[in-house]
Amino acid sequence: MKRWTIPALLAALLVPAAAGAVSPAELADTAKYRPVYMSEAGTLYADLSSIKTGDPVEGQLPLIQADLYMESYQPMPTYETIASGELVQYVFAYHTKLLAVHRMGDTDGPLQYYIDNRLFGIFDRDGRPADVAPQAGEAQSFALTGEAQDIYLHLYRCL
C-alpha cells in the first residue's frame, strides 16, 4: 500500500506545474486561441475560454481578465531557425487583468489603460515546463511600453 502512496503523491504534485501548459502548435488553433498583439519579441495569444469581464462602473469600460500566452522568439533568427520550426524559444503564460479608466474628474478626456500580468508558467516549444528562471521584469515585459491599450482593445473585441 505504501509503495503506491508515494508515486501518487508525486504525480499529484506535478499536475499543477503542467496546468496551462501550451505549445506553439496548440496556439495555432484559432478556435481556442486568438493572437492579440505582436512585436519583434514575439506574439501574444489570448485563451478565448478564459476571457472574463467585471461589471463596468457607469461611464467606464469593464475590467477584463484573461490567460495570455506569449511566444518568445529566438534572438536574431536565421533562415534555418525559421524554416525548421524552431523560431519560438519559450511560451510565457500569464494571468492578466486590464482596466481602461478616465482620469479623475475628466470623463471627456482620453482613457488610461492599466495591465497587471502574473506569470504562472514558462514552457518550451513542445509545451513542457521549461527549466529557466524568469528574468526580472518578464512578468511586465509587454506592458511597459504602452501595449496595454492595444491588448485591452483586442480582448474587448473578443468578448
pLDDT in tens, 24-40: 999 999 999 999 999 88
Determine the 3-state secondary structure of 102 from DSSP.
Answer: strand
Which residue ranges make up each domain of the chain? Answer: 20-158
Cell numbers 476571457 label which residue? 51
Per-residue confidence band for 7, with pLDDT thresholds at 50, 70 and 90: very low
pLDDT of residue 140: 59
Mean of the per-residue pLDDT values of the chain: 81
pTM: 0.80
pLDDT tens across 36-54, in order?
999 888 899 999 999 999 8
3-state secondary structure 30-87: CCCEEEEEEECCEEEEEEHHHCEECCCCCCCCCCEEEEEEEEEECCCCCHHHHHCCCC
* pLDDT band, very low/low/confident/very high, at 139 (cuts 50, 70, 90): low
- State which H helix or E strand residue 122 sits in: strand 111-123
Is there a contact between 128 and 107 (Cβ–Cβ < 8 Å)? no
